[in-house]
């Protein structure tokens, strides 16, 4: 790997870590387009709970990984919401970078052997 490519990858990783660790805390907690569409036809109270009507959101349920350590954009066991969100973002970037790097490394080795 060239020195220039190494600096490029390190810079990209640093930017991704900063975005995931810091900027992720400023994401909107309001429902996005999918949530808003799923709630069409229902009435909700001030606590954002469905109180009546008929809509797709009434059928929602927790997914199978809801109890995992990284569920709900945070790390279970860390009480500070900002720290929990930031650390889970950093963990996600590092896991993704490691998985992608491993796949590229395996593909490169396979091409060299052929």
Q: What is the pTM of this model?
A: 0.70
Please state the domain count of the chain. 1
Mean pLDDT by 10 residues, the chain (114 residues): 88 95 84 85 89 90 85 88 93 95 88 68
Range of the domain at 45: 3-113
Give residue 61's pLDDT.
Answer: 85
- CB under 8 Å, gap of 24 or more: what pairs does 15-23 form? 16/93, 16/97, 17/90, 17/93, 17/94, 19/89, 20/86, 20/89, 20/90, 20/92, 20/93, 21/86, 21/87, 21/89, 21/90, 22/86
Give residue 78's pLDDT.
Answer: 92
- 42 phi and psi, to 5 degrees? -105, 160
């Amino acid at each position: 790997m060239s020195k220039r490519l190494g600096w490029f990858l390190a810079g990209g990783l640093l930017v991704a870590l900063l975005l995931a660790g810091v900027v992720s805390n400023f994401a909107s907690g309001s429902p996005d387009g999918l949530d808003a569409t799923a709630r069409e036809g229902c009435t909700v109270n001030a606590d954002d709970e469905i109180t009546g009507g008929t809509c797709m959101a009434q059928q929602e349920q927790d997914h199978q990984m809801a109890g995992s350590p990284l569920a709900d954009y945070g790390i279970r066991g860390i009480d500070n919401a900002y720290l929990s969100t930031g650390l889970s973002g950093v963990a996600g970037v590092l896991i993704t970078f490691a998985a992608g790097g491993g796949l590229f490394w395996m593909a490169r080795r396979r091409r060299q052997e052929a």
